């Protein structure tokens, strides 16, 4: 069991911005492993010192919409564009070695009001978040492993 001072240490280490390295999902029943946003996904995870967080992940190379106004394109084109993107934000806390995201806003409306619990492993500038997710089939689950690296400090207007 994680001691309270361990949770404080983890919380202090999480504050800042993180760039996505990889996201894999393992299906223990079959041994299948997937990469939901491809082999080289893009993402940014931000934990603020005041307890807010935001996560955005996308498949690289998403096609641009055919028109500047997203409301002027077909539903199929919108669905294809947004299928390769995930975003949510809210507040965060650390308990028992896990970071808990209390989701307030999300691209997927089913996430709003949920608590996303991730086990934390930190090593230097690397962060691993793991979660077990039950599936609709009784007794079935899948395991998420999301790797991040601390984002380099940027100056206003430049990417890190």
Cα–Cα distance, 139 to 67 (Å, whole number): 45
Burial of 81 (0-12, 13-18, 19+ CB in 10 A): middle
pLDDT score of 160: 53
Which parts of the chain have pLDDT scores under 70?
A: 1-4, 155-160
> DSSP letters along 55-123, please?
EEEE-TTPPPPSSSSGGGS-HHHHHHHHHTEEEEEEEEEEETTEEEEEEEEESSGGGTT-EEEEEEEEE
CA distance 19 to 114: 23
Q: What is the pLDDT of residue 136?
A: 79
Give the mean pLDDT of the chain: 92
Question: Model confidence over 42-79: pLDDT tens digits?
Answer: 999 999 999 999 999 999 999 899 999 999 999 999 89
What integer pLDDT is reported at residue 110 of this predicted model? 95
């Amino acid at each position: 069991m994680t001691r309270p001072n361990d949770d404080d240490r983890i919380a202090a280490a999480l504050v800042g911005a993180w760039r996505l390295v990889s996201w894999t999902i393992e299906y223990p029943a079959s041994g299948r492993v997937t990469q939901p946003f491809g082999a080289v996904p893009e993402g940014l995870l931000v934990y603020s010192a005041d307890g807010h967080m935001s996560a955005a992940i996308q498949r690289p190379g998403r096609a641009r919409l055919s028109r500047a106004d997203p409301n002027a394109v077909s539903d199929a084109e919108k669905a294809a564009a947004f299928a390769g993107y995930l975003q949510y934000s809210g507040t965060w806390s650390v308990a028992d070695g896990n970071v808990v995201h209390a989701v307030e806003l999300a691209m997927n409306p089913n996430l709003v009001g949920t608590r996303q619990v991730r086990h934390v492993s930190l090593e230097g500038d690397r962060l691993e978040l793991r979660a077990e997710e039950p599936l609709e089939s009784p007794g079935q689950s899948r395991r998420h492993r999301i790797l991040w690296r601390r984002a380099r400090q940027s100056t206003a207007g430049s990417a890190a």
